[in-house]
Amino acid sequence: MKFIYSIPLTVLICLLFSGFSYAQSSDTTLTFHRKKIDSLDQKLIEILGERERVVKEVGIYKMKNNIAPLQKGRFKQILDKNVKMGAEQGLSAKLIISVMNAIHKESLMIERAVKKEEE
């Protein structure tokens, strides 16, 4: 009689451990992907920092050459180019426009601040 009960118990234990193993595997996969996202986020921040430093240089140039911070034609070129590149990466135009508008708004604030500092 003990033998009959031990078979289902053994099967149950095997099933439980296989599920546990799958859960660990899923957690490991999730952890891997989260670390990758963290790394990509860090790169994004570094690139934004580098971009901001260049924007400051552009602000200085514009100030010295009496060029207004806002150049509508230039921003339209940037927006169109980036929407196209975003589409090639499978990104929505809405996302790209939102991100580029936020970046552009910050860039204008930086350029205006540079102009005020130099006056």
Residue 20 has pLDDT above 70, yes or no: no
Q: What is the pLDDT of residue 117?
A: 85
pLDDT digits (tens, 9 = 90+) for 37-93: 999 999 999 999 999 999 999 999 999 999 999 999 999 999 999 999 999 999 999
pLDDT level of residue 33 (50, 70, 90 thresholds): very high
| Extents of the domains making up the chain | 33-118
Fill in the amino acid letter for 29: T
* Torsion sign across C-alpha atoms 100, 101, 102, 104: positive
Alpha helix ranges (H) inside 1-119: 2-64, 72-88, 93-118
Q: According to CATH, what is the number of the domain 33-118?
A: 1.20.59.10
